Amino acid sequence: MGKEAAPRKVGDNEALAVGTTIRGSAQKLNLVAALIRGRKAEDALNILTFSKKAMAVDVRKVLASAIANAENNHNLDVDALVVAEASVGKSISMKRWTARARGRSSRIVKPFSRVRIVVREQQEA
C-alpha cells in the first residue's frame, strides 16, 4: 500500500534531466543549448567538451545526467540516443547593490537559469 509512482513526463523511449540553478543568463545558456539540439548524444558530448563557452560545462553535466538516466533508469540503448529537446528558462535572480556617485546606489542582478534536456532512443533507419 505504498505511494503510487508518478506518471512519466516524457515518452517510453525518452529520458530527462534538468539543471535548475545554473549561474548565468538564459540568453547565454540558450546559445550553448542550440549547439546540441537534434544531434546524437555522443556528438553533443564532444561538442560541449571542446566548446570555448563557459556555460558548456554545466550543460554537459546535465546532458551526461540525461544519458545516465536513459541507461540506468529506462534501459535505453546509449548508442542510439539523440538530443530530442534542450530548452532553457529563467530561474531565480540574486539582487546585490553597489555604491555609485553622490551617495546613491544601483542594483546588480545576478541571474540563474534552468536547462531541460530530453534524450530519445532513435531506431536505426
pLDDT, tens digit (0-9, with 9 covering 90-100), for 40-99: 999 999 999 999 999 999 999 999 999 999 999 999 999 999 999 999 999 999 999 999
All three cell numbers of 64, joined, read 551526461
Query: How many Cβ atoms are within 10 Å of 106's Cβ, its own excluded?
Result: 9
Return d(Cα 110, Cα 89) in angstroms, integer: 15
Helix, strand and coil content of the chain, in percent to the nearest 5, comes to 35, 40, 30
Per the prediction, the chain carries an average pLDDT of 93
Q: What integer pLDDT is reported at residue 1 of this predicted model?
A: 63
CA atoms within 13 A on the CB side of 106: 4
DSSP 11: -
CA distance 31 to 35: 7
Q: For residue 92, which phi and psi values (nearest 5 degrees)?
A: -75, 170
Model confidence, pTM: 0.90
Query: Which whole number is the average pLDDT over 23-31?
Result: 96
Backbone angles phi, psi at 36, to 5 degrees: -110, -10
Mean pLDDT on 9-24: 92
